[in-house]
Amino acid sequence: MDHIIIFITLGITLLLFVWDKWRYDVVAVLALLFLVMYGIIPSEDAFSGFAHPAVITVAAVLLISRGLQASGIVDVLARFMNKAGKNLYLQITVLCLVTAVASAFMNNIGALAILMPVAIHVARKNGHPPSYILMPIAFSSLLGGMITLIGTPPNIIIATFRADYTGEAFGMFDFAPVGLALTIAGILFITLLGWRLLPKRKGQTSDSDRFEIENYITEVRVTKDSKIKETTYGDIRSLTEGDVTPLGLVRRKKRIHMPRLNEVLKTNDIIILEADTESLNTFIEKSGVKLVGDKKFRKDAEGSEEIIMREAVVMPDSPLIGRTTTDLNMRTRYGLNLLAVARSNQKIRKRMDKIPFKNGDVLLLQGRSQNLDDLITAMNCLPLVERELTIGKPRQILPGLLIFIAAVLIVILGVLPVQIAFAAGAAAMVFSGVLPVKDLYTHIDWPIIVLLGAMIPIGVAFETTGAADLIADQVLEIGHNYPVWFIVGLIMAITMFLSDLINNAATVVLMAPIGLTIAGGMDISADPLLMAIAVGASCAFLTPIGHQSNTLVMGPGGYKFSDYWRMGLPLEIIILIVGTPLILIFWPA
């Protein structure tokens, strides 16, 4: 009976993961609590997953990844883009290689976050569609993660399953023989053919071009007969139920970027508004203001040169996700105006205060030049602008590199377990000043940590209740009639399919017990099946929801959901065809 409850719980959990209405960590915790209350998972084991070595290792790797990013090591790699010239093929090749190399040794989201603005700048500067470049580097970040133990959380999780099963975990570079070969094969496909399969969506050259925002920004003058004279700046939106957004004032030829809400409007004040034509006409009728005309007072006014626009992408760990500008009180808290939102190649302008932000949304923000980029960073968003690469002082690069190399060597030599070595490495980066103390908790992807901590006890229950055995028995029935290579390929294909729909860490937690049971039933080594699961979990190329890297490029690249199949499906087929024999060569059954 318990295994039936497990199947039902996991089925509902997977559906909720795909539905994506609730965050995956919340769904995982709810599933865990249900199984605890039903009695399948003992209450004393409910939160044992948070002490699991895989969870500690993932958190430590995220911190070291942030330290490497802060030190400037990856930015140095990004500088190689200056040598790529204007050739699109060469630019894609260099960007894919740099992203893959960086992703092998740091969090792939972090590597992509550094390279993505560089890629967008290169595309715009040379007139290439960003859609030709962004998906290739996102996929390269997934490919590069297959090379090392710390390249992606699935590898870390698989290593701990192997340790529990055989007494010995996979080492730092045990994934490299297969992972490196597949990365090379994948990048060859992407650079020679893959990017040509992507849609050509014209890239714009500036923020205002991208959103055509100037068509929606208007200036109106408060006259002596205006009904809003002597009312407050905060009363403007109430006249049209929020369809008109005030962006600032010009008073006596001086621009006020963010007036107080209780600022009293006076005769001859120029109000800078964002609105569509219908809402603007309604506002003019109700308020009695007059259109200024063609002259752009906001550009001529003193202080206007300080007001700039920036595009930014909402990152997976941004506090904006799931909240609206009203919830966040964005204007007051951050001193920013939200001008427009682009989501899945669609521009959104009307009633933006009611739109909950999503991972991957592209925001057009307006603020003061001296602090706009800092405010964007504070919101955990990624500015999509040409920027000077923060090459990090030599004293930062050297300590960061030495600490990372020391942690890797300690793991390779077997001096300390990986979770201890990398936790010590993260602490060393903090004490050496490479990793700022303020980043110690803010740059851990807590949803992933909570997901893992909740799913590990569920995975254990999946195995102990016999649910994994039932699935494994069905595969073994097939396996009696087919060779081992077919089973390895089948397991990889199933893992790929799940990883395209749900978080890859959750996929590994569910698939690893099945792989181990099949290995025991066929009396073969578990290594090829575990390696197949690790590879399959990193190959979420078919959908934008399979991995955060895919989601991150969706808005800036202007991709639709179906665009990921164009390059992703042949890439997964190549990985499956090339990966299956490679696994059996390096990890024989």
| Short-list 563, 585, 573, 577, CA closest to 135 | 563
Domain boundary among 339, 366, 383: 383
3-state secondary structure 82-136: HHCCCCHHHHHHHHHHHHHHHHHHCCHHHHHHHHHHHHHHHHHHHCCCHHHCHHH
Token representation of residue 353: 């205060």
The C-alpha R_g of the chain, in whole angstroms, comes to: 26
Residues 214 and 186 in one domain: no
Note whether residue 151 is domain-resident.
Answer: yes
- pLDDT tens digits for 378-405? 888 888 865 544 544 555 788 888 999 9
Residues 246 and 356 in one domain: no
Note whether residue 477 is domain-resident.
Answer: yes
**CATH code, 297:** 3.30.70.1450
Domain boundary among 304, 335, 350: 304
- pLDDT tens digits for 262-271? 888 999 898 8
Of 381-395, 431-445, 569-583, the range with the highest mean pLDDT is 569-583
Token representation of residue 132: 């030709």
Token representation of residue 480: 């009696």
545 vs 207 pLDDT, higher one? 545
- pLDDT tens digits for 135-159? 999 999 999 999 999 999 999 999 9
Residues 171 and 243 in one domain: no
Residue 392: its pLDDT value, please?
Answer: 47
Domain count, the chain: 3
The rounded percent of the chain whose pLDDT value lies above 70 is 88
One DSSP character per residue, 291-318 reads E--S--HHHHSBTGGGEEEEEEEEPTT-
Average pLDDT, the chain: 85
| 3-class secondary structure, 142 | helix
Residues 463 and 568 in one domain: yes
pLDDT band at 208 (very low <50, low <70, confident <90, very high): very low
Domain boundary among 353, 383, 413: 383
Residues 99 and 243 in one domain: no
CA distance 585 to 562: 35
pLDDT band at 544 (very low <50, low <70, confident <90, very high): confident
Note whether residue 401 is domain-resident.
Answer: no
CA distance 164 to 476: 22
Residues 318 and 290 in one domain: no
33 vs 436 pLDDT, higher one? 33
Q: How many Cβ atoms from other residues are within 10 Å of residue 225's Cβ? A: 10
CB 423 within 8 A of CB 411: no
Domain that holds residue 259: 207-304
End-to-end CA distance of the chain: 34
**pLDDT at 237 > cutoff 80:** no
- Average pLDDT of span 482-497: 93
- pLDDT tens digits for 75-103? 666 666 656 667 888 889 999 999 999 99
Note whether residue 438 is domain-resident.
Answer: no
